[in-house]
Copies of this chain bind each other. A is one copy, B any other.
Amino acid sequence: MTPSAAGADAAAVDAADAADADAPWLDDREQAVWRQWIQVSGRLPAALHRDLQRSSDLSLPDFDVLVRLTESDEGRMRVSALATSLQWERSRLSHHVGRMGRRGLVEREDCVDDARGAFIAVTEAGRAAIERAAPDHVRTVRSLVFDALSEDEVAAFGAVMTRILSRLDAVEG
């Protein structure tokens, strides 16, 4: 997913019965914005991912995991807490930390309080990897996004993200 989204709903307009009162179509402006969103949501992560791989042998998801762990106390978190923090499914996280574990970036620790549970902890190698990768990555984020936006645009962007997130929260619980 990198999934994208409805590339264009113009076809849908033609294809389906446009008179269906229950499904108001996107107007021209909305449609243009929607297509732009699809492009950006697909291409920006891909660009960041490639950049990260070129300079660091970490993937973008690897980076995200390491960020959360290095931010946390003692560099370790319960699996569920990490999943919630990343908004990942636990299954995805489980597979992912398995792979990261094999590469020595993180390791599992048993949980004393609850024998079902586990911690995921950054290793020294994991810390070293993110410290090496971060400067370049941040530079790329700046150059692709924030350098292109005025303060007002950043604020507006944030406001839009906030509204969409609240819709997603409403739908997904």
Distance of A63 Cα from B49 Cα, bound (Å): 25
Q: Is A8 an interface residue (CB 8 A)?
A: yes
User: Other than the known A6-B137, A32-B158, A153-B160, what 17 A-B pairs have Cβ atoms closer than 8 Å?
Assistant: A2-B3, A2-B45, A3-B48, A7-B68, A11-B67, A12-B131, A15-B70, A23-B139, A29-B155, A37-B157, A40-B165, A40-B168, A41-B45, A43-B87, A43-B165, A144-B167, A157-B160
Query: Which interface class (under 10, 10 to 19, 20 to 34, 35 or more) fits A?
Result: 35 or more
Q: Is the CB of B48 within 8 A of A6?
A: yes
Assess the A16–B131 pair: CB atoms within 8 A.
yes
Distance between Cα atoms of A5 and B62 in the complex (Å): 10
Q: Which residue of B lies closest to A71 (CB)?
A: B11
- Decide if A125 is an interface residue (CB 8 Å cutoff): no
Partner of A141, one of B6, B46, B47, B71: B6
- Chain B hits for A26, CB < 8 A: 138, 141-142, 146
